[in-house]
Amino acid sequence: MTKPLPELLAPAGSMDALRAAIAAGADAVYFGGGAFNARLRAQNFTDEDVKEAIALCHAHGVKAYMTFNTLITDRELPDFLAAARVAYQSGVDALIVADLGATDLLRRALPDLPLHASTQCSAHSTAGVKALEARGFCRVVPARELPREEIARLVRECDAEIEVFIHGALCVSHSGQCLFSSLVGRRSGNRGVCAQPCRLPDARGSYPLSLKDLCLAREIPFFIETGVHSLKIEGRLKSPDYVYRVVSIYRRLLDERRAATDREVSELAAIFSRSGFTDGYFQKKVGHQMMGVRSEDDKEKAKQLPAAATELVPVSLALSFEMCKEKPIRLTLSDTKRSVTVTGDIPLVAQNAPMDAEGVKKNLCRFGGTPYTLGTADITVEDGLMLPVSKLNALRRAALQALADTGRGEPQAEPPTPKRASGKRPTAPSARFERADQITQTAIDYFDCRYLPLHAFDERVANGVVIPPVIFDEEVDATREILKKAAKRGAKHALVGNVGHLALALEAGLLPHGDFRLNVCNEQALATALEQGFTDVLLSPELTLPQIRDIGGTCDCIIYGRIPLMLLEKCAGKEVGDCARCADGKNQLVDRRGEKFPIFRIEGANGAHRNSLCNSRPTVMSDRRAELRSARVTAGHYIFTVESPAEVDAVIRAYKNGSSLGDKVRRI
């Protein structure tokens, strides 16, 4: 039996790009409204645009998905729900969501609205996908770093639809795990305004963080055979011309069920590339060959392309109309997928100017300003009858409205009230360390929970482990065994940074504490995390002190340390030095201002390792105790990376005494 084709999902950052996507043959289009989407620099869509865009998509048999994929603060939740209600009432087919607190509210407010988990949710394993299924998502967009075997496994073992990015720009950090633009440049990628610091040169003039664009055009047969539900093209900041050209090529490949030729890949590269393309993650060939920048030659190739013909052809409608004595007038409109019939007033007996079929056609078949055009018309008008033209116009509008009707009722009158998180703020500080030799006796006495990376756990000085933030399915069994061994040796606590890893901590008998990587930015998200089994949660480092103050429940925040800015599958250490030096943090990325960002190795199971790129400046609040108290921070979490044992003790003294740790620091 022939396997069904995956959905071809195209980006639209403007109405013109949306039309181009439909004209090129997209099965579905995704776009953002004026807020709460991860591409706020795109033109995006007003509320009226949203209604028009969804109606246009549906007229052409195309699904419309809207991006609501940013992190949401407590005070934004009412506006978030209001925007979602507009999308719902406009007939949107699904929302793409990242904030798990906002997700819970959507499930209660609009229970019949399909939700897709954004790649910002950091799902990279079957456990992660299933955890998101349990939260109400019917589709999951997993991490772009997954190799082909892991993608196939997700399709086989998960009930949720799997949507895979196949073309476009690649973030060098795992999506949802990048704080670089936010903490360094005050422009949050998780909030839709990323400044793309990864595309900038370093002090040497090199580009150690800039990846080539993704292109999996040669893998179309794999996706068809595997049963991936949707193939997604990145590019909501791209032009309508780009959207049309790229979507057209993938449409052809899907319809012909084949891989791209060299010529077609070259054509895609001419449209847009960064020194060519990469499929390194997919092929499990992760190396320097993945790096690239937008060269002058790339730009010149794009300039030489003629303008694409992106005009959208209107949908042809078959029209049938009847005007008979003593019967309501009747209009039927049909396209290739739907047929609707509406009725109107009973016609009048004409006194001096009866209507004929031609006169009715002239007034009834006006489709200007709609996605439609007249195809065939079958008009029956009995002799001697008439009706005001306004009645014919009203009948036509009613028929067009019926074609666009989503069949949805009104959402509940009052939006749901966010849950209140249970418990109280912890009173004992906690800390994580890169190495066991950093944990001094002073630290043992001061910190209630002392965490080490799982691979470096030492029961003599630590009582907790940091579970690796990424665990592919092929690493799960080995990680489970390492966790159990750590528990037997005395580990009591686990920092868990991914919803898919909670079960691992519980299986090992460890108390799970939510790490900052969970991106908890509102009390609803905290309440749900606590209900799921987390003992407490570290709030997102992107929150301000007033926002931290307003969240109740058992939570804490980072008050000291070089916060990890990027979680890297591609080793940045190799790009700036020797990969082996990542183990002790001696590799550094030095930017154009001379700021030094240490790079650490994150050890995984089965020989896997990833990178964490940390902030050049530590977050320091030792001399801001009054501000912390006003934000109800009663404990605080510390991150020790490059510090020597003596420096660890100096930090603790500063926090005890309320003294300064210098001026080259970051403040909350």
Overall domain count for the chain: 3
- pLDDT tens-digit map of 124-168: 999 999 999 999 999 999 999 999 999 999 999 999 999 999 999
Query: What pLDDT was estimated at residue 205?
Result: 94
CATH of the domain at 643: 3.20.20.70
Give the sign of the dihedral formed by CA 355, CA 361, CA 362, CA 363: positive
Query: What pLDDT was estimated at residue 209?
Result: 97
Query: What pLDDT was estimated at residue 47?
Result: 87
- pLDDT tens-digit map of 220-248: 999 999 999 999 999 999 999 999 999 99
Q: Which residues contact 355 (CB under 8 A, 6 or more apart)?
A: 323, 347, 381, 385, 386, 387
- pLDDT tens-digit map of 433-468: 999 999 999 999 999 999 999 999 999 999 999 999
Binned at pLDDT 50, 70 and 90, residue 476 comes out as very high
Instruction: Give the residue-averaged pLDDT of 524-531.
Output: 96
Residue 354 shares a structural domain with residue 471: no
3-state secondary structure 316-331: EEEEEEEECCCCCCEE
Residue with tokens 């590269």: 269
Q: Which two tokens stand for residue 627?
A: 């501000």
Give the C-alpha separation, 112 to 73, whole Å.
Answer: 24
Is the full-model pTM beyond 0.85? yes
Instruction: Give the residue-averaged pLDDT of 375-379.
Output: 94
Residue 386 shares a structural domain with residue 434: no
Residue 334 shares a structural domain with residue 447: no
Residue 436 shares a structural domain with residue 328: no
Q: Which two tokens stand for residue 79?
A: 């506006």
Give the C-alpha separation, 415 to 437, whole Å.
Answer: 52
Q: Where are the beta strands (DSSP E) in 133-227?
A: 139-140, 161-168, 213-215
Q: Which two tokens stand for residue 156?
A: 């086989």
Give the C-alpha separation, 260 to 279, whole Å.
Answer: 14
Rg (CA), the chain: 29
CB 591 within 8 A of CB 203: yes
Least confident residue range of 86-90, 261-265, 484-488: 86-90
- pLDDT tens-digit map of 558-606: 999 999 999 999 999 899 988 878 877 789 999 999 999 999 999 988 8
Q: Does a structural domain hold residue 413?
A: no
In terms of pLDDT, which residue wins out, 385 or 43?
A: 385
Taking Cα atoms as reference points, which of 10, 146, 119, 16 lies closest to residue 608?
A: 146
Binned at pLDDT 50, 70 and 90, residue 56 comes out as very high
| DSSP string over 43-85 | --B-HHHHHHHHHHHHHTT-EEEEEE-S---GGGHHHHHHHHH
Residue 34 shares a structural domain with residue 135: yes
Q: Which two tokens stand for residue 218?
A: 């040669």
Query: What pLDDT was estimated at residue 38?
Result: 66
Mean pLDDT over each residue of the chain, to the nearest integer: 94
CB 68 within 8 A of CB 100: no
369-374: list long-range contacts, CB under 8 Å, 24+ apart: 370/59, 370/314, 370/400, 371/55, 371/56, 371/59, 371/60, 371/314, 371/315, 372/59, 372/314, 372/315, 372/316, 372/317, 372/335, 372/400, 373/314, 373/315, 373/316, 373/317, 374/316, 374/317, 374/319
Give the C-alpha separation, 606 to 138, whole Å.
Answer: 32
Residue 334 shares a structural domain with residue 452: no
Instruction: Give the range of the structural domain holding residue 331, as residue numbers without chain letter.
Output: 316-404
Taking Cα atoms as reference points, which of 339, 408, 404 lies closest to residue 375?
A: 339
Q: Does a structural domain hold residue 230?
A: yes
Residue 89 shares a structural domain with residue 136: yes
Q: What Cα–Cα distance (Å) separates residue 145 from each residue in 430, 483, 517, 520?
A: 31, 24, 17, 23
Residue 375 shares a structural domain with residue 435: no
Q: Where are the beta strands (DSSP E) in 77-227?
A: 94-97, 115-117, 139-140, 161-168, 213-215
Residue with tokens 């949306």: 18
Instruction: Give the residue-averaged pLDDT of 265-270.
Output: 97
Instruction: Give the residue-averaged pLDDT of 32-43.
Output: 76
Residue 496 has pLDDT above 80, yes or no: yes
Query: What pLDDT was estimated at residue 414?
Result: 77
Residue 393 shares a structural domain with residue 441: no
Counting residues of the chain whose pLDDT is more than 90, the rounded percentage is 87
Taking Cα atoms as reference points, which of 408, 400, 409, 407 lies closest to residue 341?
A: 400
Residue 364 shares a structural domain with residue 225: no
Counting residues of the chain whose pLDDT is more than 70, the rounded percentage is 99
Q: Does a structural domain hold residue 419?
A: no
- Taking the CA of residue 67 as centre, how many other CA atoms within 13 Å lie in the half-sphere pointing to its CB? 34
Binned at pLDDT 50, 70 and 90, residue 1 comes out as confident
Binned at pLDDT 50, 70 and 90, residue 413 comes out as low
Residue 13 shares a structural domain with residue 149: yes
Residue 436 shares a structural domain with residue 507: yes
Q: What Cα–Cα distance (Å) separates residue 406 from each residue in 89, 113, 613?
A: 8, 12, 47
Q: Which residues pair with 433 in a beta bridge?
A: 640
Q: Does a structural domain hold residue 349?
A: yes
- pLDDT tens-digit map of 270-313: 999 999 999 999 999 999 999 999 999 999 999 899 888 888 99
Give the C-alpha separation, 43 to 13, whole Å.
Answer: 6
Q: Which residues contact 404 (CB under 8 A, 6 or more apart)?
A: 55, 58, 59, 91
